[in-house]
Homo-oligomer: A and B are copies of this chain.
Amino acid sequence: MRWPERVTVREVGPRDGLQAEERVLSTDAKVRLIDALTEAGFRRIEVTSFVHPGAIPQLADAEAVMARIRRRPGVVYSALVPNLRGAERALACGVDEVTLFVSASETHNRHNVRRTIAESLAGFVPVAERVAAAGVRLTGYVVTAFGCPYEGDVPEERVERIVAAYRDLGAVAVYLGDTTGMANPAQVYRLCTRLRGRFPDLELGLHFHNTRGAALANVVAGLQAGVTVYDGAVGGLGGCPYAPGATGNVATEDLVHMLEEMGIATGVDLDRLLAAARLAQELIGRELPGFVLKAGKRSDLVRAVRAREAAGPQGG
């Protein structure tokens, strides 16, 4: 196995995590969290979503959040948009990246945005033009890329066709979303190898949910296929709308911990990220599923045990 020297970790908790949480955070709380993530050293943060405020009440204050976060130069602050109206709002806030989304499953796309895949892609054309005119990065998600809760398996050809459509729209990166945690490492390696061969100049990113515990295993397969962009949600914020109580996005700090332990640089300060994860847990008011949040870093374990030793016998 060969490993890349460095990878880009995108923090998507403020968007994909918070939109799936029952508790709606105040604008203040979101800004505190996003600023803490900036401080942790991320170069890419998905801040919010410019959908209709009624659709996702958790993110209804998108403008206020964008206006109040402390933006560090060089960091790409992105937002999800469903249509031209959303893109106009996002651009008016000065986002650095506009991210479109469409499902690789017709049924899921219909449930999600009440459109066929073709209608979604056609609707992206004016958005892409508007984003290009503004000189802003355009990117796109293929959601349910590894399986759909309605349709089951999703043909690789369909994912490939959507990626091609994004490229034709001028997208600089495409993120494959494992929206309900259905991916497995063999599938990830196969699909990513295929797409990297077909679209060598397009940045490919992977967005895994840890619903069935395999997110980091899927990252290992992605790394072998040459993918160097991975998403996570701080603390493991979020959940799975199809499986109540189940885990959503992989916890970013678990991802960063594994990569750094492997000698793969992420540029993220893990201690600051863990502080942000503790903040996320406090703000959201429930125990978050991140592992390192509970167990501590590998190196901290050694330090803690040594300190206990140094203190002498503990009477059992």
Contacts and interface: CB of A to CB of B under 8 A. Distances in A.
Interface in A134-160: 147-152
Interface string A221-251: 1001000000000000000101101110011
Nearest to A300: B243
Contact of A258 (B214, B263, B291, B296): B214
A181 interface: yes
Contacts of A94: none
A150 to B, nearest CB: 6
A267 interface: no
Interface in A147-180: 147-152, 180
Nearest to A303: B152
Nearest to A223: B185
B212 A257 contact: yes
B216 A301 contact: no
Contacts of A247: 291, 294-295
B213 A254 contact: yes
Contacts of A216: 213-214, 216-217
A298 to B, nearest CB: 5
A150 B257 contact: no
Given A185-B258, A186-B3, A305-B150, A294 B217 contact: no
A19 B189 CA distance: 37
A150 B309 contact: yes
Nearest to A247: B291
A1 interface: yes
A1 B295 contact: no
B301 A243 contact: yes
B219 A189 contact: no
A303 B147 CA distance: 13
21 contacts: A1-B224, A147-B298, A149-B305, A150-B305, A152-B302, A184-B258, A184-B261, A185-B258, A212-B291, A213-B216, A213-B251, A216-B217, A217-B217, A217-B220, A217-B258, A240-B295, A242-B304, A243-B296, A246-B295, A247-B294, A247-B295
Given A151-B302, A214-B216, 16 more contacts: A3-B186, A149-B302, A150-B309, A184-B258, A187-B262, A212-B254, A212-B257, A212-B291, A212-B297, A214-B254, A214-B258, A220-B221, A240-B295, A242-B301, A243-B294, A247-B291
